Amino acid sequence: MEEEKKDGNTSRSDRVTLKKEIGLLSACAIIIGNIIGSGIFISPKGVLEHAGSVGLSLIVWVCGGGICTLGSMCYAELGVTIPKSGGDYSYVTEIFGGLVGFLLLWSAVLIMYPTTLAVIALTFSNYVLQPAFPNCLPPFIATRLLATICILFLTWVNCSSVRWATRIQDVFTIGKLLALVLIIVVGLVQICRGFYDALRPSTAFEFREEPSVGQIALAFLQASFAYSGWNFLNYVTEEVVEPRKNLPRAIFISIPLVTLVYTMTNIAYFSSMTPQELLASNAVAVVSSCEEIPISSFQTHFTHTALCFYFPEGHLPYLLAMIHLKNCTPIPALLVCCIATIFILCIGETHNLINYVSFINYLSYGVTIAGLLYLRKKRPNLVRPIKVNLLIPISYLIFWAVLLGFSLYSEPVVCGLGMVIMLTGVPVYFVGVHWKNKPKWIYQVVEKVTYIGQKVCYVVFPQQDSSETELLTASKATD
């Protein structure tokens, strides 16, 4: 029986094995494309606010890139040791078991991606409405309503056509890069003209007030929002050509390049405005808000959908892994992301949401890298094509523990809320996944709901057999 099960799994994996088509250049493009986004336009204000000075904020940006490099090296070892697509989820599930993996998946689906999208939508709506309210902040209801309309529109685009969604992404990706180039060039011109008072050594470390360790930790959380996405290549490890060579190369090329771009962008900001103007002005995010929301929406939806596709453990409802019969778009997964995002829009401000999602992101990274050390001890003879020095994961985890500890101390409600939501996945896991001998009526209800969802959304599993596709088509026609 066990052999039959293995054979069945083998045939299934043969059917869905992903082609290795991602070379070094494409791997670098994936990392850079997923890191550089709205964060570099949204986070500088928060970093400066918590750091307290221009000099310390620039140090935070550089160190943030260095921390991402350390984390990426650990992920490179995990990526070739456990050569599965799915990133954190796959590694943690393999090392610690289903519960911890499910909690990461639960937090990603309900917190990380919807909250990231909510931050960008709120930023967009705030700066679009700001000219209509020059003497005050835009009304709460107006900003939420416009943000909701944007989310609904972009969800509709992603549901309707993969081609249109990718075209929107391509157009606005070019706009994003041009905006960054323009900002950096203007900044360099300003510096050449002598406008760099805020960057002089004598003034760069003038603090408005002496920052505490907790405030510096929150500055790193704000910066980490801009760096999020550095681990995305591990979600498609199975598609990377020669991952042993290309994973570390892509990391050492991409992340230092992004760090340089981010640092130069912040230097450009401070050459064009004083720290006080940056803290009081919305100008930093105006360019980004109009250009970034379609990109971030598409990339967030893409990652959200990848989560549903890559995980065959039964940890998610099967309906979320289905795609539209004609458009080949993952409508159920997109709708879940849309609903979660709209809910999050109504419960928090942009600044708090960034701390909230960054805290959960770092929590996820730390658990995954702790798994690397645990795997070294538990399975020392496991073949590791890449084996990083132990000082790298240990250094990362020390920084991780200090950052999360002081962040939780400084913002107990915001950071603690994310942990509470993550822990709500524990009963869901034991009831929905771990409990195998459920009453038949529960399975019947699930099957009925799945069937109704299929008919409403007109979706099937990818690589569905033609006979099953014809059956659904006939059922749709009958209705």
Domain ranges of the chain: 16-436, 438-479
What pLDDT is stored for residue 305 in this prediction?
Answer: 54
% of the chain beyond a pLDDT of 90: 24
Residue 340 CA to chain centroid, in angstroms? Answer: 15
Mean pLDDT, rounded, of the chain: 80
CATH class label, 16-436: mainly alpha
| pLDDT digits 0-9 by tens, 261-281 | 999 999 998 888 888 877 876
| 213-217, 299-303, 460-464: least confidently modelled range | 299-303
What pLDDT is stored for residue 397 in this prediction?
Answer: 95
| Backbone dihedral angles phi then psi of residue 240, each to the nearest 5 degrees | -85, 130
Query: Which distant-in-sequence residues (6+ apart) come within 8 Å of 360 by Cβ?
Result: 107, 111, 112, 418, 419, 422
Choose among 223, 195, 193: nearest CA to 354.
223
| pLDDT digits 0-9 by tens, 137-193 | 788 899 999 999 988 988 888 888 767 766 766 666 677 778 888 889 988 998 998
Alpha helix segments (H runs only) across 208-242: 213-227
**C-alpha separations of 82 from 87, 93, 244, 464 in Å:** 10, 11, 12, 28
- Cα-only R_g, the chain: 23
Q: Would the pLDDT of 304 be above 60? A: no
| pLDDT digits 0-9 by tens, 397-423 | 999 999 999 988 888 888 888 888 888
- The residue ranking higher by pLDDT, 56 or 307, is 56
Q: Using CA atoms, how far apart are residues 175 and 65, in angstroms rounded to an integer?
A: 23
Helices then strands, each counted (H, E), the chain: 21, 2
What pLDDT is stored for residue 371 in this prediction?
Answer: 94
What pLDDT is stored for residue 56 in this prediction?
Answer: 93
Q: Using CA atoms, how far apart are residues 284 and 223, in angstroms rounded to an integer?
A: 15
| pLDDT digits 0-9 by tens, 367-403 | 999 999 999 999 998 888 889 999 999 999 999 999 9
Q: Please give the helix or strand (H or E) that residue 323 lies within, else none.
A: strand 323-324
Q: Using CA atoms, how far apart are residues 187 and 323, in angstroms rounded to an integer?
A: 46
What pLDDT is stored for residue 266 in this prediction?
Answer: 92
Q: Would the pLDDT of 69 be above 90? A: yes
| 118-122, 207-211, 419-423, 437-441: least confidently modelled range | 207-211
Place of tokens 């470390």: 205
Q: What is the DSSP letter of 131?
A: G
Report how far apart the first and last C-alpha atoms of the chain are (Å, whole number).
41
Report helix, strand or coil for 386: coil
Q: Would the pLDDT of 303 be above 70? A: no
**C-alpha separations of 153 from 143, 157, 160, 286 in Å:** 15, 6, 10, 20
CB of 58 within 8 A of CB of 64? no
Average pLDDT over residues 344-372: 88
Q: Would the pLDDT of 1 be above 80? A: no
Average pLDDT over residues 294-301: 48
| pLDDT digits 0-9 by tens, 5-55 | 444 444 444 444 445 567 888 888 888 888 887 788 888 988 999 998 999
